[in-house]
Structure 1
Amino acid sequence: MSETPVIYVLNGPNLNLLGEREPEIYGHETLADVQAICERAAGDARVVFRQSNHEGELIDWIHEARRDGSVLVLNPAGYGHTSVALLDALKTLTIPIVECHLSNPAARERFRHRSYVSPVAAGIVSGFGPFSYELAIQAALRLIRPSRET
């Protein structure tokens, strides 16, 4: 049997306020609810689930995922539209990246239409609220287990 896959799920700024901040856009579920969704969807894979409001900490975790992860699911939040440093860190990865958003950035303000993550992501899941994470985990598993049912 192969080694247990490790799915890093990293969350950017303000996602610690899920359920409180703009629920009409982001929903009423909390970040703990989203973590539970990810862990259920991952099945036998191990989930490393983290959130930070600090760009440097997210970059450190991306470096950690480079060493210890099988795949990265990233909701960069606002940093996705602004951070070249995040892009540079992501470009060091040899594991697949799945970009994930609760809302659909393309349907929102113009400045949200550009993502620095998208060019290095295998795919993007957005617009389905917390279900976006479940879909992103399923996609991540397909990327690392292409010949198995997930």
Structure 2
Amino acid sequence: MRILVLNGPNLGRLGRRQPEIYGTTTHDELAELCASWGREHGQQVEVRQTNHEGELLDWLNTAADEATPVVLNAAAWSHYSYALLDACAQLEAPLVEVHISDPASRPEEFRHHSVVSAFASKVITGRGIDGYRLALEHLATL
């Protein structure tokens, strides 16, 4: 099974950006971990990151066309992008939403709602990088 792990804005700075919230694992290390975790379940995992919303939407549109499961951490876009909502609504293969921190417990109120969650077969928050492993395990059980 091919799975796309898609990460949104600023996640390319993992390991350097607010390590007290997001940990010290870099995005490159995350990609290696996801590939390794996926192999354990017979999954071919491709990890991508972008700071450009249109690029993420293109990836989701392709995932919809190819019925590819998606693990999505859309970061800040999760909280306000109706274009992202529309792209997630068209997915037919499972979508797992992941957030490294727990947005609901963050002090910024805008983080308390996600436009993605309604379309996700599972939402994993506050588990750090391990949330990606849990997402891949979830997809393996479907």
TM-score band, normalised by the shorter chain?
over 0.9
Contact (CA 8 Å) 1:87, 1:117: kept in 2 or not? yes
Which structure 2 residues correspond to residues 105-120 of structure 1 after superposition, within 5 A?
Answer: 105-108=103-106, 109-120=108-119
With structure 2 as the length reference, what TM-score do the two structures score?
0.94
Which structure 2 residues correspond to residues 43-122 of structure 1 after superposition, within 5 A?
Answer: 43=39, 44-108=42-106, 109-122=108-121
SS in 2 for 1:95: coil
**1:35 maps to amino acid:** A
Q: Quote the Cα distance in structure 2 between the aligned partners of 1:69 and 1:7.
A: 10
**2:16 maps to amino acid:** E
Contact (CA 8 Å) 2:67, 2:92: kept in 1 or not? no
CA deviation after TM superposition for structure 1 residue 69, in Å: 4.6
Partner of 2:9: 13
Which consecutive aligned stretches of 4+ in structure 1 deviate over 6 angstroms post-superposition?
A: none
CA deviation after TM superposition for structure 1 residue 32, in Å: 0.9
With structure 1 as the length reference, what TM-score do the two structures score?
0.89
**Does 1:24 pair with 2:4?**
no
Q: Where do 5+ consecutive residues of structure 1 fail to align?
A: 144-150
SS in 2 for 1:106: helix
**Does 1:38 pair with 2:34?**
yes
Aligned residues: 139
Q: Where do 5+ consecutive residues of structure 2 fail to align?
A: none
Contact (CA 8 Å) 2:35, 2:46: kept in 1 or not? no
